Chain A
Amino acid sequence: NAGVTQTPKFQVLKTGQSMTLQCAQDMNHEYMSWYRQDPGMGLRLIHYSVGAGITDQGEVPNGYNVSRSTTEDFPLRLLSAAPSQTSVYFCATRLAPSRTDTQYFGPGTRLTVL
């Protein structure tokens, strides 16, 4: 049982490049989400999904796209990378979009945009 996996662990991009951060889970969780973590700002929600085929925007969605074609995978796409997107990105999952459920986090992807 791998839990929540993220690839890659580290990535360096040039301004204007695009890339996809991968997130996969093997816990059959309905709810998946992406956060970015910046110094002094905690974690901010980018996008989330309450099930396959359903996605919605969080607090800071600009510059990012998501899709959820399967229960297991929830990739995050950067369309045209900017230095402001330098951050650590975490994928997180919950069994259901319930206010009491525990949220499980992946190990993170550290992205640097030059």
Chain B
Amino acid sequence: GDSVTQMEGPVTLSEEAFLTINCTYTATGYPSLFWYVQYPGEGLQLLLKATKADDKGSNKGFEATYRKETTSFHLEKGSVQVSDSAVYFCALSTGTGANNLFFGTGTRLTVIP
């Protein structure tokens, strides 16, 4: 079935370091791919998305490219800030039926000054 495998955490970085969080997926249809972010004590909010192969999603300095050949959607940011500390979830919308979202296990990022 459809699934998302996400890099295990937690990840701790110094401010201004480069961030990569790996995400790979398995899907039978033509999924859309998403990154959601959860700040402490809050619900999830959309960070970025890509709806077809080779699309790049970007927001707030974060980027991810939908790579069909490697079934990946890795999240990157060139220079992280303390305010980026959160849990990041990779997700796919199946592209079949009700297009439910399936989530990875989440990666906790802590950025230290």
> How many angstroms between the C-alpha atoms of A50 and B102 in the bound complex?
16
- Interchain CB contact under 8 A, A33 and B44: no
- In the assembled complex, 26 residue pairs joining A and B whose CB atoms fall closer than 8 Å, in A order, are A4-B43, A31-B98, A33-B101, A40-B105, A41-B105, A42-B6, A42-B89, A42-B104, A44-B103, A45-B100, A45-B101, A45-B102, A58-B100, A92-B101, A97-B97, A97-B98, A99-B30, A99-B95, A100-B32, A100-B49, A100-B51, A105-B36, A105-B45, A106-B43, A107-B43, A108-B42
Q: Size range of the interface on A?
A: 20 to 34
- Interchain CB contact under 8 A, B95 and A90: no
Number of interface residues of B (CB under 8 A): 27
Report chain B residues within 8 Å CB of A101. 93, 99
- Interchain CB contact under 8 A, B93 and A100: yes
The yes or no answer to B82 lying at the interface (CB within 8 A) is no
> How many angstroms between the C-alpha atoms of A10 and B20 in the bound complex?
34
Interchain nearest-CB distance for B96 vs A (Å): 8
B34-60 contacts to A, CB under 8 A, are 34, 36, 42-46, 49, 51
A48-88 contacts to B, CB under 8 A, are 48, 50, 56, 58
**How would residues 52 to 95 of chain B score, 1 for a CB under 8 Å from any chain A CB and 0 otherwise?**
00000000000000000000000000000000000001000111
Please provide the 8 A-B residue pairs with the shortest distance between their CB atoms, ordered closest to farther. A105-B43, A99-B99, A42-B105, A99-B93, A43-B103, A42-B103, A97-B98, A105-B44
> How many angstroms between the C-alpha atoms of A43 and B44 in the bound complex?
10
- Interchain CB contact under 8 A, A108 and B105: no
- Interchain CB contact under 8 A, A108 and B43: yes
The yes or no answer to A1 lying at the interface (CB within 8 A) is no
> How many angstroms between the C-alpha atoms of A60 and B101 in the bound complex?
14
Q: Taking each of A31, A33, A99, A108, which has the highest tally of chain B beta carbons within 10 Å of its own beta carbon?
A: A99
> How many angstroms between the C-alpha atoms of A97 and B99 in the bound complex?
6
- Interchain CB contact under 8 A, A98 and B99: yes
If A42-B89, A99-B95, A100-B93 are given as contacts, then 5 extra A-B residue pairs at C-beta distance below 8 Å, sorted by A number, are A33-B100, A43-B89, A56-B98, A99-B51, A103-B46
